[in-house]
Copies of this chain bind each other. A is one copy, B any other.
């Protein structure tokens, strides 16, 4: 641990140019899509020229892949944080849904949802990361659902994998449908209904 490098203290000070570029590009990709922004857009926002941008990220494909990779790592870290914070399945799923709500609150669409739509037009390197990203989320959800089922705190109707995929798609879709209206409340309502389906159903004995 003696070899602490500059790169390691990333949360300190104001971010350097490469990180600022990534921040702006990420925002633009979440709001306008990969095909909906240009180097000129990023350059203007940062206050440098397109040529300088190319110095840091030689191609748009490289910039896009870097943004996506960083986003995926952040998301995985958020999942680990949820695992560390709460142990039972229902609160874990609540926090998972809250991750999505927070993105929408920032007037952004989930990066993965945006790029999934654009999938066919994206550089292959980005396509690969997207698929891996979805697979990761699905695995995490399936594990949480399985644990909830085992503990009796969740009553999913379907296999772990099926229900995980349904939840993943359900939340992404709820976000997508709320996106044109920028309506966080409608997303939250859908998320609540979605998660409620995993609870023990009220009896219908009468």
Which residues of A come within 8 Å of B, CB atoms? 31-33, 35-36, 109, 113-114, 116-121, 127, 130-131, 134, 155, 157-158, 162-163, 165-166, 168-181, 186, 189-190, 192-194, 196-197, 200-205
User: Are B196 and A177 in contact (CB-based, < 8 A)?
Assistant: no
How many copies of this chain?
2
On chain B, the residues within 8 Å of A121 by CB distance are: 32-33, 36
The 3 closest A-B pairs by CB, nearest first: A173-B173, A201-B201, A169-B174
CB distance from A188 to the nearest CB of B (A): 10
- Most chain B CB within a 10 A radius of its CB, from A119, A158, A168, A197: A197
Residues of B within 8 A of A32 (CB): 118, 120-121
* Residues A205 and B203 in contact in the complex (CB < 8 Å), given A31-B120, A131-B180: yes
Question: Measured between C-beta atoms, what is the minimum distance from A179 to chain B in Å?
Answer: 6
The answer, among B157, B173, B175, for a CB contact under 8 Å with A196, is B157
